[in-house]
């Protein structure tokens, strides 16, 4: 592991400079808690002198390709873990795609850690154990005091050192630090985080977010339904590669999508999981 990290001395010397310290975590997660298999994503933690941001690496890759080749591709991050906050703060700005829109909402996510005397060595780094309860799950973290950042993936922060590893007790979410780098200046996320490839985030609150999620669940193909005419026999709608010709066929697709939404309802913050009804 040590070979992939920038020199600790250089990191410390560079703290006062206007640059972005980037840490990439491999996230293994279960989209369905009943399944044994784990999906994988690379997630980015950017730390600047004023802000901290956490988001899927594919967002940055898509943005970079758009700028390089003049394209207008987009990418939807489905991790539910796109956040930013001021440095040394537990106040998070959360970003989420719902229906056809892109939204932001604020939360305060204070964590109370219990730091253990237990340590372990990982490629020459000494990691110390800490535990907390957050989002309805019990978490175990391993942090390194040698890296002077009290940050970690997603909303996990507040320890006296950078979090290298963290996972919940049931191993639904496992984060491992795999790479670090320094980027000159403040890396701009304006086109894919604060706005999602042309869609500027609309500020809402958590109550409004729940309302939008329930509206989407109740009629996930509302846009298609609004454009569907029972009197127009020539109208065809394509959903997931399937041509829909009647309202009954559209209703069948709706029921299938609702099953998928209920099945993959396993967010990091389990205590905020939406309780979708069965119809």
Q: What is the pLDDT of residues 131-150, one digit of tens each?
A: 999 999 999 999 999 998 99
Burial of 57 (0-12, 13-18, 19+ CB in 10 A): middle
pLDDT classification of 241: cutoffs 50, 70, 90:
confident
Query: What global pTM score does this model have?
Result: 0.92
pLDDT classification of 243: cutoffs 50, 70, 90:
confident
**Token pair of 203 as six digits:** 């500020």
From residue 74, alpha-carbon distances to 54, 63, 71, 193, 249 in Å are 18, 8, 9, 12, 29
Percent of the chain with pLDDT over 70: 91
Range of weakest confidence among 4-13, 35-44, 98-107, 268-277: 4-13
pLDDT at residue 61 in the model: 98
Domains located in the chain, CATH noted: 2-196 (2.50.20), 207-272 (no CATH)
Could you give the CA distance from residue 31 to residue 8 in angstroms, rounded to a whole number? 35
pLDDT classification of 17: cutoffs 50, 70, 90:
low
Does residue 75 register a pLDDT over 80?
yes
Range of weakest confidence among 13-22, 177-186, 191-200, 201-210: 13-22
SS3 256: helix
Question: Are 142 and 160 contacting, i.e. CB atoms less than 8 angstroms apart?
Answer: no
pLDDT at residue 1 in the model: 54
**Token pair of 184 as six digits:** 């000159």
pLDDT classification of 247: cutoffs 50, 70, 90:
confident
DSSP tag of 2: G
Angle between helices 247-263 and 206-218 (to 10 degrees): 130
CA quadruple 151, 156, 158, 161: dihedral positive or negative?
A: negative
**Radius of gyration over every alpha carbon of the chain, rounded to an integer in angstroms:** 21
pLDDT at residue 162 in the model: 98
Could you give the CA distance from residue 214 to residue 90 in angstroms, rounded to a whole number? 28
Range of weakest confidence among 12-26, 36-50, 52-66, 225-239: 225-239
In 201-246, where does DSSP find H-type helix? 206-218, 222-226
Could you give the CA distance from residue 52 to residue 158 in angstroms, rounded to a whole number? 13
**Token pair of 21 as six digits:** 């310290």
Q: What is the mean pLDDT of residues 193-197?
A: 97
pLDDT in tens, 223-234: 888 877 555 555
Burial of 110 (0-12, 13-18, 19+ CB in 10 A): exposed
Q: What is the mean pLDDT of residues 109-115?
A: 98
pLDDT at residue 9 in the model: 45
């Amino acid at each position: 592991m040590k070979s992939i990290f920038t020199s600790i001395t250089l990191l410390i010397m560079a703290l006062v400079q206007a640059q972005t310290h980037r840490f990439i975590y491999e996230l293994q997660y279960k989209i369905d808690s009943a399944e044994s298999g784990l999906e994988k994503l690379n997630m980015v933690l950017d730390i600047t002198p004023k802000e901290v941001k956490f988001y899927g690496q594919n967002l940055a890759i898509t943005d970079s390709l758009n700028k390089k080749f003049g394209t207008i591709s987009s990418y939807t991050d489905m991790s539910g873990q796109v956040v930013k906050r001021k440095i040394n703060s537990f106040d998070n700005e959360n970003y989420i795609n719902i229906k056809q829109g892109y939204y932001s909402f604020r939360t305060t996510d204070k964590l109370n850690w219990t730091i253990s005397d237990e340590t372990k060595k990982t490629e020459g780094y000494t990691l110390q154990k800490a535990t907390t309860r957050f989002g309805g799950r019990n978490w175990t973290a391993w942090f390194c005091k040698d890296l002077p950042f009290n940050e970690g993936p997603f909303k996990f922060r507040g320890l006296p050192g950078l979090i290298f590893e963290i996972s919940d007790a049931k191993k639904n979410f496992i984060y491992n630090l795999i790479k670090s780098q320094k980027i000159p200046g403040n890396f701009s996320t304006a086109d894919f985080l604060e706005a999602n490839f042309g869609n500027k985030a609309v500020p809402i609150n958590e109550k409004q977010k729940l309302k939008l999620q329930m509206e989407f669940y109740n009629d996930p193909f509302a846009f298609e339904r609004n454009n569907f005419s029972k009197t127009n026999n020539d109208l065809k709608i394509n959903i997931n590669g399937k041509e829909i010709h009647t309202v009954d066929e559209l209703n069948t697709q709706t029921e299938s999508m609702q099953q998928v939404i209920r099945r993959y309802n396993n967010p990091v913050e389990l205590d905020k999981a939406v309780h979708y009804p069965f119809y």
